[in-house]
Structure 1
Amino acid sequence: MFDLRHVALLMLMGLIGAWIWRGFGLRDQALILVRQHCKQADVQLLDESIYLNKLRIGRSKGLRLGIVRHYGFEFTVTGERRYNGYIELYGSRLRHIELAPHPFPGGGPAVAYGSLE
């Protein structure tokens, strides 16, 4: 009926399932961070979604090994063009958010040219 191999296989499947379930929670956390960042940058997050690009092993500042998740997303400034951005999480902590070069809403800061007298 059940032997040790079956128990080990069930435990392995349970661990994999728990890891995937935790990954969904981290994706939701990353989506919340992206929404906040887009709101602060005065851009609109498109499709209200992010997608997993990469999953790799990386080091923290304390040189501890951990999993780094790299999620991509798209945003717009004026609604005409889509720009890419990404967020990296080390474990459950924010590592980096970056938005692609894009025009600033309202034309950006005014620049005066000429002599500085």
Structure 2
Amino acid sequence: MIDLGHVTLLILAFWAGAWIWRGLGLRDRALSLVRSHCSKADVQLLDESIALVRLRPGRNRNGRIGLIRRYAFEFTVTGERRYPGYVELHGAQPLNLELAPHPFPGEGPDKPPSNVHYLR
């Protein structure tokens, strides 16, 4: 026999499943943003994956309250070293996408980066 308790559990299970389904869709959106940014920056996304590292309440640029998801990933320039990066989404809207400081393609470890100027 189905009573109100069973209906409540079914509604909660459905809600949790829908929330997880939406989270997976947002993860795919973040991954496509990262792939696009890495190809524009001429770096290689490693492992073709990202990981959810933080979920917190916050506001977007318009002041709207919601959940901010932070996904971490790793990339490389030459294939020798891994560098971290992250992307933050407020819903499906990207807030931040950052790559750690890294050498630009074509610059070796002995050659200083072209964007660094030394004062003498």
- Decide: shared fold, TM above 0.5: yes
**Distance in structure 2 (CA, Å) of the matches to 1:25 and 1:72:** 16
Q: Describe the SS at the equivalent of 1:15.
A: helix
Distance 1:43 1:110 in 2: 17
Spell out structure 1 runs of 4+ moving beyond 3 A.
108-113
Instruction: State how far apart, in whole Å, the 1-side matches of 2:71 and 2:106 are.
Output: 28
SS of residue matched to 1:106: coil
SS of the residue corresponding to residue 105 of structure 1 reads coil
Aligned pair partner of 1:109 in 107, 114, 120: 114
Unaligned runs of 5+ in 2: 108-112
Aligned to 2:69: 69
RMSD: 1.9
CA distance in 1, matches of 2:3, 2:14: 17
Q: Which amino acid aligns with 2:82?
A: R
Task: Report Cα offsets for 1:4-41 as digits up to 9, x if no partner.
Answer: 11101100110010000010010001000000000011
User: Structure 1 stretches of 5 or more lacking a match?
Assistant: none
Taking the aligned partners of 1:12 and 1:109, their CA distance within structure 2 comes to: 56
Aligned partners of 2:60 and 2:95 also within 8 Å: no
Task: Report sequence identity in percent.
Answer: 64
Please report how far the alpha carbon of residue 111 of structure 1 lies from its aligned counterpart in structure 2 after TM superposition. 8.0
Mapped partners of 1:98, 1:28: distance in 2: 18
Alpha-carbon offset, residue 62 of structure 1:
2.5
Q: TM-score if structure 2 supplies the norm length?
A: 0.88
Alpha-carbon distance in 2 for matches of 1:69, 1:112? 36
- Taking structure 1 as the reference length, the TM-score comes to 0.91
Deviation at 1:88, TM superposition (A): 0.2
Question: Per the alignment, in what secondary structure is the counterpart of residue 11 of structure 1?
Answer: helix
Count residues with an aligned counterpart.
114
Write out per-residue CA displacement over residues 36-86 of structure 1, whole angstroms, 9 at most, x where no aligned residue: 000011100000000000011101223221010000000000000000000
